[in-house]
């Protein structure tokens, strides 16, 4: 990127989350990811540079190790002309959803991350003139806490996502309770996975987005977004998934196209042989806890028919979902078991603030940091070292619980007519380093954001699904 010649007119608003805002280059396959802050939160340029550099290092030395080289794009920190950033900020402001405007894009430091645009990912196998489809899924936490520290019975039965649905509808964040349950998606059972993906397509919330040639064609901004229109989606998808029933239009055609999409995504999620060291966690992180969530509509309907829910048919070890789940399960103690350990580290740091650096509280996220994460013991020897390892594992797990999987699909030239088989598609599943900033920013800092994060996870989630105060 020639930073000296940046022109805001070549960039457009692409999307944003709670912590960052992304703009995409109109022609080139790159995005810039800026940090966002509440208006009164002033950070120095040096702090912002360090924050971004930590995200890059965390991607390189931790997430790549766990998930594998091919699934993680770390990007790089770039310095941009301040005038460019200021003009860009003005240009995109009107496109931002209102619900996200409580935070402002950082226009003062001039730093951002430059990453490949994963919604337009091309490889040499892609036919250049063919459209590229990208499905972004934020699958959330795929297991029910197995820690003996959990005190609320409900937390052993119902997954966090399903509990939060009640809260989100009650607070008006979303209109309708979703039928999606992460445990169905992570089950490895195709029937359950299909149900989960269909449910995501019905009520996407912020767990599913679909892009065509880098443009968002399906997704939901907030509770006021129009109801999902499957026939419109099917229209977009037809060049990719011409229905095998031969129908070119109508509700049958729509259903057939959606079904094919669901089947292809399932196959992608179950495929993958890329090496990552999540396997090295296997010994300590075998399947634990209930495999079925008490709130999943899929399971409930089977129960009504007197049938049992098929449990995990076992996720293939190399697949993305398996690796993701392994990293999520680094949360061995649940917040209830972790919080006292967090307090132990806090107290220690209050007494010995100079130790912050030696203990790598805020990075660097290097090989030594990664190695400590592999210690899965839960025997508390009363040391700060033990407490710190558990807190760092929790932070990494939080990242995996909140990451998105980006699946780029495009028909291959040589095989474009064979639409039934996955080999007919160039399929790339990518990890985006969505929330790695949280690792540094959310825990073990003394600001209230850290307190709130841990505090909010202390809530007895099952007890009052309608009235939780998330702070
Ligand atoms: O707590 P959750 O499960 O609701 O997850 C939060 C996400 O809500 P979601 O449920 O995905 O709509 C939330 O996403 P939205 O702002 O709702 O798009 C953030 O990703 C938040 O992470 P952070 O505070 O930006 O580091 C996420 O917070 P963390 O729990 O990951 O800290
Ligand atoms: N490298 C990328 N290529 C294409 N799109 C991207 C890329 N990185 C992020 N995006 C898009 O921008 C959106 C917001 O980015 P991101 O999820 O990283 O924000 P965040 O603030 O970290 O999220 P959260 O709310 O989870 O904290 C994503 O949902 C995705 O659609």
Q: What does the pLDDT look like over 384-434, one tens digit per residue? A: 999 999 999 999 999 999 988 988 887 665 443 323 233 233 334 433 333
167-to-118, 162, 238, 411 alpha-carbon distances in Å: 32, 9, 37, 41
462-to-376, 411, 465 alpha-carbon distances in Å: 27, 45, 6
Residue 176 CA to residue 169 CA, distance in Å, equals 6
User: Average pLDDT of 17-43?
Assistant: 93
Q: What does the pLDDT look like over 84-135, one tens digit per residue? A: 999 999 999 999 999 999 999 999 999 999 998 988 876 545 445 667 888 9
Residue 291 CA to residue 298 CA, distance in Å, equals 13
Q: What is the pTM of this model?
A: 0.87
Contact 409, 119 (CB under 8 A): no
Most ligand 2 atoms within 8 A of CB, residue of 13, 15, 213 to mutate: 15
Residue 330 CA to residue 264 CA, distance in Å, equals 29
Ligand nearest to the CA of 31: 2
**DSSP letters for 249-282:** SHHHHHHHHHHHHHHHHHHHHH------GGGGGT
Distance between Cα 322 and ligand 2 center (Å): 22
Q: Which residues line ligand 2 (CB under 6 A)?
A: 14-20, 22, 31, 33, 115, 117-119, 136, 209, 402, 404, 432, 434-435
Q: Name which residue sits closest to atom 7 of ligand 1, judged by CA.
A: 402
ipTM rounded to 2 decimals: 0.97
Distance between Cα 17 and ligand 1 center (Å): 8
User: Average pLDDT of 60-78?
Assistant: 88
From the list 392, 386, 346, 349, the residue with the least C-alpha distance to 369 is: 392
Tell me how many helices (H) and strands (E) the chain has. Answer: 16, 11
């Amino acid at each position: 990127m020639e930073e000296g010649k940046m022109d805001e007119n070549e960039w457009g608003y692409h999307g944003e989350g709670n912590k960052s805002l992304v703009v995409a280059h109109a022609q080139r396959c790159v995005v810039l990811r800026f940090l966002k802050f509440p208006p009164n939160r002033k950070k120095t340029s040096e702090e912002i540079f360090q924050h971004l550099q930590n995200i890059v290092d965390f991607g390189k030395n931790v997430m790549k190790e766990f998930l594998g080289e091919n699934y993680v794009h770390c990007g790089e920190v770039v310095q941009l002309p301040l005038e460019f950033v200021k003009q860009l900020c003005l240009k995109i402001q009107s496109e931002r959803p209102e619900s996200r405007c409580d935070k402002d894009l950082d226009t003062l430091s001039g730093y951002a991350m430059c990453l490949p645009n994963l919604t337009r990912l091309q490889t040499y196998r892609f036919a250049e003139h063919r459209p590229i489809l990208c499905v972004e899924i934020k699958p959330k936490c795929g297991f029910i806490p197995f820690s003996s520290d959990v005190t609320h019975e409900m937390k052993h039965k119902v997954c966090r996502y399903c509990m939060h649905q009640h809260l989100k509808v009650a607070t008006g964040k979303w209109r309708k309770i979703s039928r999606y349950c992460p445990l169905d998606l992570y089950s490895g059972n195709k029937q359950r996975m299909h149900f989960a993906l269909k449910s995501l397509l019905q009520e996407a919330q912020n767990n599913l987005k679909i892009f065509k040639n880098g443009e968002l064609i399906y997704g939901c901004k907030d509770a006021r977004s129009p109801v999902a229109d499957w026939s419109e989606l099917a229209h977009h998808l037809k060049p990719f998934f011409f229905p095998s029933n031969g129908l070119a239009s109508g509700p049958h055609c729509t259903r057939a196209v959606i079904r094919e999409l669901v089947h292809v995504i399932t196959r992608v999620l179950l495929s993958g042989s890329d090496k990552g060291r999540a396997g090295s966690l296997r010994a300590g992180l075998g399947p634990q806890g209930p495999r079925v969530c008490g709130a999943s509509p899929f399971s409930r309907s089977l129960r009504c028919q007197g049938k049992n829910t098929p449990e995990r048919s076992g996720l293939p070890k190399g697949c993305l979902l398996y690796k993701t789940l392994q990293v999520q399960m680094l949360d061995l103690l649940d917040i209830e078991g972790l919080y006292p350990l967090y307090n132990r580290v806090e107290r220690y740091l209050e007494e010995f603030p100079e130790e912050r650096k030696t203990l790598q509280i805020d990075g660097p996220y290097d090989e030594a940091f990664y190695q400590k994460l592999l210690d899965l013991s839960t025997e508390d020897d009363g040391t700060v070292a033990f407490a710190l390892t558990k807190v760092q594992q929790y932070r990494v797990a939080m990242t995996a619980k909140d990451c998105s999987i980006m699946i780029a699909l495009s028909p291959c030239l040589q095989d474009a007519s064979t639409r039934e088989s996955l080999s007919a598609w160039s399929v790339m599943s990518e990890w985006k380093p969505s929330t790695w900033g949280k690792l540094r920013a959310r825990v073990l800092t003394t600001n209230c954001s850290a307190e709130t994060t841990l505090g909010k996870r202390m809530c007895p989630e099952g007890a009052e699904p309608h009235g939780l105060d998330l702070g």
